[in-house]
């Protein structure tokens, strides 16, 4: 009887650990960030790109260090992240750090309206708010998981250095601090 209970418990624990595996979303360290089209909806007031312009931010930022975010919700937690990134980009302007937030989801027009409102309400000045043409999950080749509420890809010279995949409800102060700290890995 004890053996059956122990065996059953072992199976449950193995299943639980597999289920609780780390969330993986987006390009991983060492992978190349490809070009993709977006529409600028707000923020980054001095980048020379007008709201409503369609472009490839990846291409515009070229080899610069970049924090690229894919987010499914424009909520208070994302606002906390964006405000920290906005300060970090300003503090590292000499290193040409860039950042853009891609709002993703099903309805492109709704996403654009949310991005514009979010940028205005949060007074985002150094980080661009955009909606990708491939708006439901971002570009297919980026492998953004539908289970990730936020995916952060930090890269330089087009090569990913750091990836943060954040599950729903997990974008807290500690996670944001970790993301901001990891920008140091692409600043030279």
Domain locations along the chain: 25-185
Q: What is the pLDDT of residue 171?
A: 98
Is the per-residue pLDDT at 138 higher than 60?
Answer: yes
42: phi then psi, degrees, rounded to nearest 5:
165, 180
* CATH 3.40.30.10 applies to domain 25-185: yes
Separation between Cα atoms, residue 99 and residue 27, nearest integer Å: 16
Percentage of the chain surpassing pLDDT 70? 89
Identify which of 95, 160, 101 has the alpha carbon closest to the alpha carbon of residue 130.
Answer: 101
Confidence of residue 97 (pLDDT cuts 50, 70, 90): very high
| pLDDT 10s digits, 11-33 | 333 333 333 468 999 999 999 99
Is the per-residue pLDDT at 154 higher than 90?
Answer: yes
Q: Average pLDDT, stretch 99-109?
A: 97
Q: Which helix (H) or strand (E) element contains residue 41?
A: strand 38-43
How far, in Å, are 38, 130, 140, 176 from residue 180 at the CA level? 24, 20, 26, 6
Separation between Cα atoms, residue 154 and residue 179, nearest integer Å: 9
Indicate the average pLDDT of the chain.
Answer: 91
Confidence of residue 2 (pLDDT cuts 50, 70, 90): very low
Separation between Cα atoms, residue 100 and residue 67, nearest integer Å: 7
Confidence of residue 5 (pLDDT cuts 50, 70, 90): very low
Q: Average pLDDT, stretch 78-105?
A: 98
Strand partners, 132: 38
Q: What is the pLDDT of residue 182?
A: 98
Q: What is the pLDDT of residue 8?
A: 42
How far, in Å, are 37, 59, 153, 174 from residue 179 at the CA level? 24, 23, 9, 9
Give me the half-sphere count of Cα atoms (radius 13 Å) on the Cβ side of residue 31. 14
Q: What is the pLDDT of residue 188?
A: 78
Give me the half-sphere count of Cα atoms (radius 13 Å) on the Cβ side of residue 168. 5
Is the per-residue pLDDT at 9 higher than 80?
Answer: no
């Amino acid at each position: 009887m004890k053996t059956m209970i122990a065996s059953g418990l072992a199976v449950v624990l193995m299943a639980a650990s597999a289920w609780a595996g780390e969330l993986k979303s987006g390009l991983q360290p060492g992978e190349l960030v490809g070009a993709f089209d977006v529409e600028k909806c707000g923020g980054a007031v001095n980048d020379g790109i007008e709201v409503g312009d369609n472009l490839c931010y990846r291409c515009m930022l070229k080899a610069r260090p970049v924090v690229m975010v894919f987010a499914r919700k424009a909520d208070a937690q994302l606002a906390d992240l964006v405000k920290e990134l906005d300060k970090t980009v300003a503090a590292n302007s000499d290193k040409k750090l860039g950042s853009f937030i891609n709002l993703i989801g099903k309805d492109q027009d709704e996403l654009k309206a949310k991005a514009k409102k979010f940028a205005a309400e949060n007074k985002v000045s150094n980080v661009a708010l955009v909606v990708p043409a491939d708006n439901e999950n971002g570009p297919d080749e980026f492998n953004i998981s539908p289970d990730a509420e936020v995916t952060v890809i930090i890269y330089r010279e087009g090569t990913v250095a750091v990836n943060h995949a954040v599950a729903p409800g997990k974008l807290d102060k500690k996670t944001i601090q970790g993301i901001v700290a990891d920008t140091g890995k692409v600043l030279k």
